[in-house]
Amino acid sequence: SQQGEEDPQALSIQEGENATMNCSYKTSINNLQWYRQNSGRGLVHLILIRSNEREKHSGRLRVTLDTSKKSSSLLITASRAADTASYFCATDSTSGTYKYIFGTGTRLKVLA
Amino acid sequence: NAGVTQTPKFQVLKTGQSMTLQCAQDMNHNSMYWYRQDPGMGLRLIYYSASEGTTDKGEVPNGYNVSRLNKREFSLRLESAAPSQTSVYFCASKTGLAVNTQYFGPGTRLTVL
């Protein structure tokens, strides 16, 4: 089963609005990452947050992590049509392996 | 610097045929990965190679084999393709340290009839 589950599955907003998507996971992690996938393309890394961090910013992106609730959120501020994509969270585990588990993704559509 | 490259980009197979998907990276990364992505789904890990000379099973390894040919190349083989293996396949790599990002190839879209 998937380690990460994103919510909502799909989101449609107007350009300029903020977009928030959430990720829940099941086991203890070392870090959590968010990736973006444009239609028909590979995934592109956006931001990584470590388990001892609560919030991180990168440009218009803001990520929070609540390890007690095993959840993370990605906020995209002042969205643009170019932000239209699918967004995935990926978690590792504390078991020491080198692999990540990806969630099912949130499909974001930003309307111009 | 090409990053992660995959060949072919598209492939159509008949049930029972075999094929090998190729992946190469020029970033001197130690770890390489093969994922499959089905419609509306996230990525599921098929196999990974933490370092040259090692390979390990992921979530969905059945029906696949891998070879870490050298540090640059990691191939995925379907010995007897089945319609359930119709998917988009992504290769990824990372330096191998515990905390860092994966770099993805553009994907191979495989259809098994």
pLDDT digits (tens, 9 = 90+) for B59-108: 899 999 999 989 999 999 999 999 999 999 999 998 866 657 889 999 99
Residues 6+ apart with CB under 8 A from A10: A106, A107, A108, A109
- Asked if B45's CB is within 8 angstroms of A42's CB, the reply is no
Check if the beta carbon of residue B56 is closer than 8 Å to that of residue B70: no
Residues 6+ apart with CB under 8 A from A111: A12, A13, A14, A15, A81
B9-44 pLDDT tens trace: 999 999 999 999 999 999 999 999 999 999 877 899
Q: Cβ A43–B102 below 8 Å, yes or no? A: yes
Q: What integer pLDDT is reported at residue B23 of this predicted model?
A: 97
- Cα separations in angstroms, B2 against A31, A35, B21, B76: 27, 20, 18, 20
SS3 A1: coil
Contacts of B96 in chain A (CB under 8 A): 98
| Strand, helix or coil for residue B59 | coil
Residue B39 contacts by C-beta under 8 Å, 6 or more apart in sequence?
none
- Peptide bond before A8: cis, by omega within 30 degrees of 0? yes
Q: Which residues of B touch A (CB under 8 A)?
A: 4, 31, 33, 35, 40-45, 48, 50, 56, 58-59, 90, 92, 94, 96, 98-107
Question: What pLDDT digit, counting tens, does each position of A9-60 carry?
Answer: 999 999 999 999 999 998 888 889 999 999 888 899 999 999 999 999 999 9
Please list every residue in chain A whose beta carbon sits closer than 8 Å to the beta carbon of residue B43: 43, 88, 102
Tell how strand A31-37 and strand A85-91 pair up.
antiparallel
Task: Give the per-residue pLDDT at B101.
Answer: 83
Average of per-residue pLDDT across A51-78: 96
Give, rounded to a whole angstrom, the gap between the first and last alpha carbons of chain A: 36
pLDDT exceeds 80 at position A93: no
Helix (H) or strand (E) holding B34: strand B31-37
